[in-house]
């Protein structure tokens, strides 16, 4: 495996899966006492929300009830924003 001229390296898929490193996962690099580079998942504080988290948050905001369980008047009130 080689580092590109931009300093990039591809983490093999099996290692990404075992470490739980999904796309858009923030990572940190450090060196241990033996001088080896160690990659770890960054602390969660202040991290960006994942695409999935943003989608769930969006659906929770607007998915108050299943449309088949709502009356037409309730659906129209939601459409107009008449909370």
User: Alpha carbon of 47 to those of 11, 44, 53, 54: distances in Å?
Assistant: 21, 5, 12, 13
Domains of the chain: 1-45 (2.10.260.10), 49-83 (no CATH)
What is the reported pTM?
A: 0.46
pLDDT at 36: 96
Q: How far apart are CA 30 and CA 37, in angstroms?
A: 6
Q: Which of 60, 23, 29 is nearest to 42 (CA)?
A: 29
pLDDT string in tens for the chain (83-residue length):
899 999 999 999 999 999 888 888 889 999 999 999 999 988 776 667 788 888 888 777 776 556 567 788 887 888 887 76
């Amino acid at each position: 495996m080689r580092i590109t001229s931009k300093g990039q390296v591809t983490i093999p898929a099996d290692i990404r899966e075992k470490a739980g490193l999904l796309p858009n996962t923030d990572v940190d690099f450090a060196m241990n006492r033996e001088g080896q580079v160690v990659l770890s998942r960054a602390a969660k504080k202040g991290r960006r929300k994942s695409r999935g988290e943003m989608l769930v948050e969006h659906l929770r905001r607007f998915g108050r009830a299943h449309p088949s369980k709502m009356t037409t008047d309730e659906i129209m009130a939601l459409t107009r924003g008449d909370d």
